[in-house]
Amino acid sequence: MSSLIIRNSIKEIPEDDFLKINKETNSPFSQYNYLHALEASKSVSPESGWEPHHFLKENNGKLIGFMPVYKKYNSNGEFVFDYSWSHALQQAGRSYYPKLLTAIPYTPCKGERLLGNNNVKDELVNDIKDYMANEAIESWHILFPDKKTKSLLRDHGLIERFGCRFVWKNRSYKDFNDFLNIFTSRQRKTIRAERRKILKSDITFKIVEQDSISKDDWDIFYGLYCQTYIDRWQRPYLTRSFFDLLLSGKKTSQPVLFFAIQDNEVIGSSLCFKNSNTLYGRHWGSSKNIDCLHFETCYYQGIEYCIKNNLDYFDPGVQGEHKIRRGFEPELSSSFHYLLKKDLRSAINEFCLKEKYGILEYKDSCDKYTPIKKEYRI
């Protein structure tokens, strides 16, 4: 007979036990070391609005299931926006927060959200529903789940909310010029012109991966990363120690740093992560405002890296129609939502149904806007 255990920190779970139920997980963000780095660095904490509240299943003391859960006291760092839902419930005299969230903090990339066999996953979903009823918590949200998790959540009757993201697909390109052949001639000229601007500015690039990343590399990157938030009058989500902790543990998340260098000085950088078939763009920053530096550092360098390393996909993060003109194609994404009480459940279901038609129209518009030749589209 399995039992439910709730842990307030990932470090309360032995890493070896976690790895045994996480063998097939391909996402770099569902790894023990990534979740641990977030918590140990205080990037994720009650003070930041993310209180770890992880759901575990054990059988005779053996870990057989895991679901990352956070008690949220705000909606920051989620990339699925529910502020209107919060406002509506507040207007009704009820509390939207704390809510329960199953996601990878600050990381809008799809991946595994429940670990264990199918029966254990079913139990975890039922357990969290029971927990909500006992604790009078109004809502539970699952963000960016993978295909198998989507199917499970639909079977449990959760409300699906659609979004749109942009992904690059590798069609066995020989090199970047081969990739450019998928575009109309006008867009090929535009991309080449953007890249020439970087060359004329005497900017070169250096790539540093995983164990080769030094403390000095992280220091340089973090300064640039923070500048992005300072420019927006915001506080960075991630602390400096998060990046040092990334490379601890037995199975790491495979970071890849791209450095833009001008006059022997790093002036821009992007941080990606990878797995066996996908490169994920996550963070970037720059110290100089140079035309097309963002496009080169965050998109074109990543595309070249995927081609050279035979990676199938490049997911640069959510939002941004400007990605379409640079070879990223629209695809639907999903989040799932369980509302404890029928009145809110009905209202949110109606909202998501109406929103779905708008998202589908938006995706259709993006498909028409793409400069990729028809025969090459996803």
Q: What is the secondary structure of 186-226 as a DSSP string?
A: HHHHHHHHHHHHHHHTTEEEEEEEGGG--HHHHHHHHHHHH
160 and 179 belong to one structural domain? no
Helical axes 83-91 vs 342-369, angle rounded to 10°: 150
Q: Contact 35/90 with Cβ under 8 angstroms? A: no
Compute the distance between CA of residue 67 and CA of residue 103 in angstroms, rounded to an integer.
Answer: 9
In this predicted structure, which of 159-163, 295-299, 315-319 has the lowest mean pLDDT?
315-319
**Banded model confidence at residue 211, pLDDT cuts 50, 70, 90:** confident
Give 102-164 as a 3 state SS string. Answer: ECCCCCCCCECCCECCHHHHHHHHHHHHHHHHHHCCCEEEEECECHHHHHHHHHCCCEEEEEE
Identify whether 299 is part of a domain: yes
114 and 199 belong to one structural domain? no
Q: Contact 327/183 with Cβ under 8 angstroms? A: yes
Q: What is the CATH number of the domain that holds 243?
A: 3.40.630.30
Q: Report whether pLDDT(375) > 80.
A: no
Per-residue confidence (pLDDT) for residue 376, from 0 to 100:
58
Residue 218 structure tokens: 């992280």
209 and 246 belong to one structural domain? yes
Mean pLDDT of the chain: 94
Q: What does the pLDDT look like over 132-157, one tens digit per residue?
A: 999 999 999 999 999 999 999 999 99
**Banded model confidence at residue 247, pLDDT cuts 50, 70, 90:** confident
356 and 303 belong to one structural domain? no
Compute the distance between CA of residue 28 and CA of residue 69 in angstroms, rounded to an integer.
Answer: 18
89 and 210 belong to one structural domain? no
Per-residue confidence (pLDDT) for residue 59, from 0 to 100:
95
202 and 296 belong to one structural domain? yes
Q: Which residue has the tokens 């920190």?
A: 9
Compute the distance between CA of residue 284 and CA of residue 292 in angstroms, rounded to an integer.
Answer: 14
Q: Report whether pLDDT(1) > 70.
A: no
146 and 210 belong to one structural domain? no
**Banded model confidence at residue 10, pLDDT cuts 50, 70, 90:** very high
Record the pTM. 0.94
200 and 238 belong to one structural domain? yes
The β-bridge relationship of strands 313-315 and 139-143 is unpaired
Q: Contact 85/348 with Cβ under 8 angstroms? A: yes
Q: Which residues contact 336 (CB under 8 A, 6 or more apart)?
A: 141, 142, 145, 150, 153, 154, 158, 159, 160, 161
In this predicted structure, which of 191-195, 202-206, 226-230 has the lowest mean pLDDT?
226-230
Per-residue confidence (pLDDT) for residue 300, from 0 to 100:
98
Of 8, 10, 81, 106, the residue nearest 51 (C-alpha):
8
Compute the distance between CA of residue 122 and CA of residue 154 in angstroms, rounded to an integer.
Answer: 12
**Banded model confidence at residue 372, pLDDT cuts 50, 70, 90:** confident
Per-residue confidence (pLDDT) for residue 156, from 0 to 100:
97
Per-residue confidence (pLDDT) for residue 377, from 0 to 100:
57
Q: Contact 11/61 with Cβ under 8 angstroms? A: no
Task: Report the 10 Å Cβ neighbour count for 331.
Answer: 15
Per-residue confidence (pLDDT) for residue 304, from 0 to 100:
98
187 and 121 belong to one structural domain? no
264 and 362 belong to one structural domain? no
Structural domain containing residue 39: 2-164+331-369
Helical axes 118-135 vs 147-155, angle rounded to 10°: 60
Identify whether 378 is part of a domain: no
**Banded model confidence at residue 374, pLDDT cuts 50, 70, 90:** low
Identify whether 338 is part of a domain: yes
**Mean local confidence (pLDDT), 205-222:** 95
336 and 325 belong to one structural domain? no
Per-residue confidence (pLDDT) for residue 138, from 0 to 100:
96
Identify whether 6 is part of a domain: yes
Q: Please report the sign of the dihedral spanned by the C-alpha atoms of residue 244, residue 33, residue 109, residue 187.
A: positive
112 and 211 belong to one structural domain? no
Q: What does the pLDDT look like over 81-118, one tens digit per residue?
A: 999 999 999 998 999 999 999 999 999 999 999 999 99
Identify whether 375 is part of a domain: no
> What long-range pairs does 225-228 form, CB within 8 A, spacing at least 24?
225/269, 225/271, 225/283, 225/284, 225/285, 226/285, 227/285, 227/286, 227/287, 228/283, 228/284, 228/285, 228/286
Per-residue confidence (pLDDT) for residue 245, from 0 to 100:
93
Identify whether 377 is part of a domain: no
Question: What's the total number of domains in the chain?
Answer: 2
More confident residue, 372 or 27: 27
Residue 290 CA, chain-centre distance (Å), reads 27
Q: Which residues contact 322 (CB under 8 A, 6 or more apart)?
A: none
Q: Report whether pLDDT(378) > 60.
A: no
Per-residue confidence (pLDDT) for residue 373, from 0 to 100:
64
